[in-house]
Amino acid sequence: MRLGIIGLPQSGKTTLFNALTRSTQPTGPTGKIEIHTGVVDVPDPRVDKLSAMFKPKKTIYAKVTYADIAGLDGSAGKTGISGTLLNQLTQMDGFIHVIRTFEDENVAAPSGSVNPTRDLATMDSEFIINDLIAVERKLERLREERKKGAGRDKGQIEREVVLFERIEAALNEETPLRDLAINAEEEKLLSGFGFLSRKPVLIVFNQSEGQSMPQIPYPHQHSQMVALQGKLEAEIAQLPPEDARMFLEEYGIEEPSLNRMIRLSYDLLGLQSFFTVGPDEVRAWTVRRGALAPEAAGEIHTDLQKGFIRAEVVAYNDLISLGGMTEARSKGKLRLEGKEYPVLDGDILNIRFNI
């Protein structure tokens, strides 16, 4: 899972990236395209409790890869985004869009003022324009193909024309493509395009101390909003764990806002965690919501998916409340499920297989 951190210059993208990854990348504009990546654990108290119960040699959390993407400045205009930058953006599964709400006389704001509504609309427009250019080019090729009347099935060409005309109409109305209902057949047709406005977005308002989250209407699907203090979060992230705990306790903070942001970005992509447990390892695995048991088995190892027979399943809450696997088995909470079982968030799985 790869999420790109985007935003206008001086919004605090790199500060947020440093907080997430505990790195020290220099902040401030560089005038060039730069991509920095880091892998981050998804905070999950369930993993901590399972680890305390089984006392394994290793404890492994689910992972998210974040990429700090510099180079977007709202000036792509009618030419769209090109080259290395576009290639990086299309490879992302979703975006963390950092919006500046903090005031700082030492850090110049884009367009001369702090205006989160404007900045949010600017980036949305950038992506919509880029997608529209790609759609118009595709429609031009399809219409030319239809005119020649040779090669592919005419019915298939016509279906593609109808789909891309619908997409074009939405983009001309400045509607992000993540708002469009797309069926399974259409999904296959669009899978290779990497349209930017189709990707889920977590909007992060980067605030000063004491600010409240802006109330900006944003009625778009596959989008969420969260507020945090990027500079403070980066400072906490650089502290030794014990010092960080003392700092949070002193200010009555339950957990860094960053943790909530990481969990939201994980959830944003329609993902969930299941667990494997034992004396050697307690581990969180990532799988899409609605995945069947063999697919989850494949996340552990492809051989488990190929030779899948059954999954031993116990719900996390049942295991914790009963105190262990032996108790869960004796109370009938450990059950066998087959190939059609949809794995639920928090399931503990043990895969039976035969190769």
If you average pLDDT over residues 302-306, what whole number do you get?
96
Tell me the backbone φ, ψ of residue 159, rounded to 5 degrees. -65, -40
CATH class label, 2-42+62-110+199-268: alpha beta
- Bigger pLDDT: 103 or 317? 317
* Strand duo 63-70 + 34-41: pairing: antiparallel
The pair of three-digit structure tokens given for residue 24, joined into one six-digit string: 């020290």
**What is the share, in percent, of the chain residues with pLDDT greater than 90?**
70
If you average pLDDT over residues 104-110, what whole number do you get?
84
Q: How confident is the model at residue 16 (pLDDT cuts 50, 70, 90)?
A: very high
Q: CA dist 139 to 40, 102, 134, Å?
A: 40, 43, 9
If you average pLDDT over residues 133-146, what whole number do you get?
93
User: What H or E segment, with its residue span, contains residue 205?
Assistant: strand 201-206
Do the Cβ atoms of 313 and 349 come closer than 8 Å?
Answer: yes
The pair of three-digit structure tokens given for residue 246, joined into one six-digit string: 């003392």
> Is residue 28 predicted with pLDDT exceeding 70?
no
Residues of the chain by 3-state class (helix, strand, coil), percent to 5 = 45, 20, 35
* Residue type at position 323: G
User: What H or E segment, with its residue span, contains residue 223?
Assistant: strand 223-228
Do the Cβ atoms of 220 and 199 come closer than 8 Å?
Answer: no
> Is residue 77 predicted with pLDDT exceeding 70?
no
| Residue-range domain boundaries for the chain | 2-42+62-110+199-268, 126-197, 290-353
If you average pLDDT over residues 282-306, what whole number do you get?
97
If we measure between CA atoms, which residue out of 39, 18, 1 comes closest to residue 231?
18
Assess whether the region 126-197 and the region 290-353 belong to the same CATH fold: no
If you average pLDDT over residues 305-332, what whole number do you get?
96
Q: What angle do CA 69, 98, 94 make, to 5 degrees?
A: 60
If you average pLDDT over residues 36-52, what whole number do you get?
94
How far apart are alpha carbons 314 and 349 in whole angstroms?
7
pLDDT at residue 29 in the model: 60
If we measure between CA atoms, which residue out of 295, 227, 290 comes closest to residue 261?
227
Do the Cβ atoms of 98 and 75 come closer than 8 Å?
Answer: no
Q: How confident is the model at residue 277 (pLDDT cuts 50, 70, 90)?
A: very high
If we measure between CA atoms, which residue out of 251, 249, 283, 287 comes closest to residue 266?
287
> Is residue 344 predicted with pLDDT exceeding 70?
yes
> Is residue 26 predicted with pLDDT exceeding 80?
no
CATH class label, 290-353: alpha beta
> Is residue 195 predicted with pLDDT exceeding 70?
yes
CATH code linked to domain 126-197 = 1.10.150.300
**What is the share, in percent, of the chain residues with pLDDT greater than 70?**
97
**Per-residue pLDDT tens for 140-158?**
999 999 888 767 888 999 9
pLDDT at residue 101 in the model: 95
> Is residue 71 predicted with pLDDT exceeding 90?
no
- Bigger pLDDT: 249 or 349? 349
> Is residue 78 predicted with pLDDT exceeding 70?
no
> Is residue 243 predicted with pLDDT exceeding 80?
yes
pLDDT at residue 153 in the model: 86
